[in-house]
Chains A and B, each alone.
Chain A
Amino acid sequence: MSQPDSISKTERDPVFAEPWQAQAFALAVRLSEQGYFTWKEWSAALADELKTEATLGYYEHWLAALERLVTAKGLTNEAALLERKEAWADAYRHTPHGKPVELLKEA
């Protein structure tokens, strides 16, 4: 119906479609407010991500830019992020319904 590069307009977008988007948004803003990177550095990182194949949603690019920038700034590293992600998945798998999901304490 509409041409591929037409601008799809909606009257009311939710500010964030899913909670992870809000968290990713706030993490970038907060880290910048605290001086771990400048907003200019952030914009450049985000612009870089948006240049890649535009099949991902906006906040997926946002998250990828955030991961790249915090890693580049040495705030954490890829291995730690991957390991922690697996730990969270594990925690969900092992937490009974109705209980808050918490990371298992490492011995």
Chain B
Amino acid sequence: MSSHDHDHQAVPSDLTLRVKALESLLTEKGLVDPAALDALIDKYQHRVGPRNGARVVARAWIDPTYKQRLLTDGTTAMAELGYGGAQGEHMVVVENTPEIHNLIVCTLCSCYPWSVLGLPPVWYKSAPYRSRAVIDPRGVLREFGLELADETEIRVWDSTAELRYLVLPERPSGSEKLDETALAALVSRDAMIGVAKVTMPSRGVGA
């Protein structure tokens, strides 16, 4: 009697039960296949991430004709490297220059260029980022440790279900001798969202 509860399994959280209810009902109706769900989870947990976007950026840096295609039609240029929009959305690439800095956000929900960046970080989906990126982009960038000159124009791009943006960061000075792979290794997720710049690794400069 006393050990009764211990002989059986703990009931999971309400959230887990709600998801199990949905999944089992929809599976029974033949609307979803659990194997397809597992494949999707594996894809976004392990295979799709910012390394894809970094490859796109590095290619654009070394190949001016690719860069031109990327800026003209991001969707097609990314497809050349095998990165397709997960939901049939259009990809728009916005280029940073010494005069213009681009920042991407989704003010209403969490639209994000999944195929080249994976799923968004928690802060990208948070209410403070979604509201403040538009109202006070300079302040937001400062919080990320990025101080821009007063004369730099900041352009904020609000993503939607149909239109996703990727920032093409400036190629850092001193990177002229690097090949495509080495360049891609410099490009961070944050630089492609626009909350960071791409920098050359410092060579043991003492702090």
Residues of A within 8 A of B87 (CB): 29, 32, 39
Chain B residues in 8 Å Cβ range of A27: 19, 22-23, 26, 32, 37
Number of interface residues of A (CB under 8 A): 59
Determine if A39 and B89 form an interchain contact, defined as CB atoms under 8 angstroms apart: yes
A97–B8 CB distance below 8 A = yes
Q: Is the CB of A43 within 8 A of B31?
A: no
Instruction: Tell me which residues across on chain A come within 8 A of B89, comparing CB atoms.
Output: 39
Residues of A within 8 Å of B38, CB to CB, are 26
| B32 neighbours in A (Cβ, 8 Å) | 27, 30-31, 34
Are A29 and B9 neighbours in the complex by a CB distance under 8 Å?
no
Interface residues of B in 1-51 (CB under 8 A from A): 6-26, 29, 31-33, 36-38, 40-41, 44-45
Q: List B160-179 residues whose CB lies under 8 Å from chain A.
A: 160-162
Given contacts A7-B129, A50-B109, contact A97 B7 (CB under 8 A): yes
Asked if B161 and A40 sit within 8 Å, CB to CB, the answer is yes
Cβ-Cβ contact count across A and B, 8 Å cutoff:
167
Contact of A15 among B15, B26, B119, B161 (CB under 8 A): B119
Provide the bound-state CA to CA distance between A103 and B26, in Å: 15
How many B residues touch A, CB cutoff 8 Å?
A: 58
Q: Which of A46-92 contact B (CB under 8 A)?
A: 46-47, 50, 54, 58-60, 63, 66-67, 70, 75-76, 80-82, 84-85, 87-89, 92
Say if the beta carbon of A93 comes within 8 Å of chain B: yes
Stretch at the interface among B65-73, B92-100, B120-128, B147-155: B120-128
- In the complex, B88 has a CB within 8 A of chain A: yes
Residues of A within 8 A of B45 (CB): 15-16, 22
B21 touching A88 by the CB < 8 A rule? yes
Q: How far is the CA of A76 from the CA of B27 in the complex (A)?
A: 11
Complex CA distance for A31 and B7, rounded to whole angstroms: 37
Say yes or no for B118: interface residue by CB 8 A criterion: yes
Known: A31-B26, A97-B7. 9 other contacts (CB 8 A): A13-B122, A20-B15, A22-B45, A32-B87, A46-B109, A50-B127, A58-B125, A96-B9, A97-B6
16 A-B pairs with C-beta separation under 8 A: A9-B121, A16-B45, A25-B41, A26-B36, A26-B38, A30-B40, A31-B26, A39-B162, A50-B108, A54-B127, A58-B110, A58-B122, A70-B22, A80-B25, A89-B17, A92-B10
**A contact residues vs B (CB 8 Å cutoff):** 5-10, 13, 15-16, 18-20, 22-27, 29-32, 34, 36, 38-40, 42-44, 46-47, 50, 54, 58-60, 63, 66-67, 70, 75-76, 80-82, 84-85, 87-89, 92-97, 101, 103
